[in-house]
Amino acid sequence: MASIRQNKVARLLQKELGDIFQRESRNLFPGKMVTVTVVRVTADLSLARVYLSIFPGNNREKVIGDINHQGKHIRHELGNRVRHQLRLVPELQFFIDDSLDYVENIDELLKS
């Protein structure tokens, strides 16, 4: 179970990363909408696992690869935004959030 501090840091990172992706995705990923759905931070606050929802769903792996390639730039931008709230900016790992696909699959199974 996550501590209060972990939850606060995760919410801060989710808000700031969402803003970064909203501003930068027009240039980096034209025609794609990238949304930060969940951020999970380790107990020592050194690693943040960021789950992203990508719309439209085609070429998700390529977009995640591009995001991981731009990881240092994204972490630098994040550091500039949270430098007064956090002493150390956690390392970022990006993953595809497929929970919406799972929900759609369950809905299709229940309809038939």
CATH code for the domain in which residue 21 is found? 3.30.300.20
Helix, strand or coil, per DSSP, at residue 72: helix
What is the count of structural domains for the chain? 1
Range of the domain at 64: 4-111
List, for residues 26-78, the tens digit of each pLDDT value. Answer: 887 788 888 999 999 999 999 999 999 988 878 888 889 989 999 999 999 99
The continuous run of DSSP H or E covering 61 comes out as helix 60-69
> pTM above 0.95?
no
Q: Which of 26, 27, 10 is nearest to 82 (CA)?
A: 10
